[in-house]
Amino acid sequence: MTKKYILGLFRDEEPLLHAVNELRKEGNKIHEVYTPFPVHGLDDALGYKRSRLPRAAFLFGCLGGTLGLSMQAWMLGVDWPMNIGGKPALAWVDFVPVTFELTVLITALGMVATYLVASDFIPGNEPKMPDPRITSDVFCIAIDVEGASATVGSRLRQLGAEVQEKEVEL
């Protein structure tokens, strides 16, 4: 669904970061900011909470470790114990490498799957972005026209942005 946005386009990250701080201080609501590379401090300036992906990773890690260890213990210790020179069937030290590998594997795959789903990254999805130059050298602040103050356009211009009004899906 498309909506009308006021776009402030910048050519550099410092004026962008400055503008974000100023606009938020003045009580404007910013829909989203788009940049060609990760700009440090931008998520704090926008007041974004820390990503919960590390927590997802931790849970997948617990799952992977438990699955890996219990699979080996069950297979060699319970389902088909073997007598190898009278040594214990439940030789847990031997299970460490595979447990480790499965922990890493399931954490990585689980977290990346969570990342793709959370970000709505599906192969072939059309990008919801205000300007195609963003992936090269343009930094963009998008403000929803609905509920924006009438002066926000001129304020953006004052902060060094090139201002556009566009009907896009973001």
Partner 1 sequence: MFESPTRRPLITGKTSYSQITEDIIKPIEAKPTKWWYLGFTVSLAALGLWLLSVTYLLFTGVGVWGLNKTVDWGWDITNFVWWVGIGHAGTLISAVLLLFRQKWRTAVNRSAEAMTIFAVVCAGSYPLLHAGRPWLIYWVFPLPNTYGSLWSNFNSPLLWDVFAISTYLTVSLVFWYVGLIPDLATIRDRAVGIRRKIYGLMSFGWNGSAKGWQRFESVSLILAGLSTPLVLSVHTIVSFDFATSVIPGWHTTIFPPYFVAGAVFSGFAMVQTLLIIMRKSMRLEQYITLNHIDVMNKIILVTGSIVGSAYITEFFIAWYSAVPYEQYAFANRMFGPYWWAYWTMMTCNVITPQLFWSRKLRRSLTASFIISIFVNIGMWFERFVIIVTSLHRDYLPSSWLMYSPSWVEICMYIGSLGLFFTLFFLFAKFLPVIAVAEVKSIYKTSSEEEIAKTAAKEGLDLQQAHAHTKGAH
134 binds partner 1 (CB under 8 A): yes
- Tell me how many degrees the CA angle 112-53-14 measures, rounded to the nearest 5: 100
Of 9, 23, 28, 107, which one interacts with partner 1 (CB under 8 A)?
A: 107
| Beta-carbon count within 10 A of 145 CB | 15
Of 25, 79, 147, 150, which one interacts with partner 1 (CB under 8 A)?
A: 79
111 binds partner 1 (CB under 8 A): yes
Of 94, 146, 162, 165, which one interacts with partner 1 (CB under 8 A)?
A: 94
CA dist 19 → 33, 57, 139 (Å): 11, 34, 11
Q: Which lies closer to partner 1 via its Cβ, residue 4 or residue 84?
A: 84
Residue 162 to residue 153: CA distance in whole angstroms: 9
Q: State residue 119 phi and psi, 5-degree precision.
A: -90, 0
144 binds partner 1 (CB under 8 A): no
| 167 three-state secondary structure | strand
83 binds partner 1 (CB under 8 A): no
What radius of gyration do the chain's Cα atoms show? 25
Least spacing, CB of residue 4 vs partner 1, in Å = 18
Binding piece for partner 1, criterion CB under 8 A, among 21-29, 75-83, 144-152, 158-166: 75-83
Q: Which lies closer to partner 1 via its Cβ, residue 26 or residue 90?
A: 90
Q: Please give the residues from 146 up to 165 whose contact with partner 1 meets the rule CB under 8 A.
A: none
Residue 145 to residue 61: CA distance in whole angstroms: 43
**Residue that has been written with the tokens 């998520």 in this structure:** 43
Among 162, 168, 105, 110, which residue's Cα sits nearest to residue 138?
162
Q: Which residues bind partner 1 (CB under 8 A)?
A: 11, 13, 32-40, 42-43, 46, 48, 50-51, 53-54, 57, 71-72, 75-76, 79-80, 84, 91, 94-95, 97-98, 100-102, 104-105, 107-109, 111-112, 115-116, 118-129, 132-137
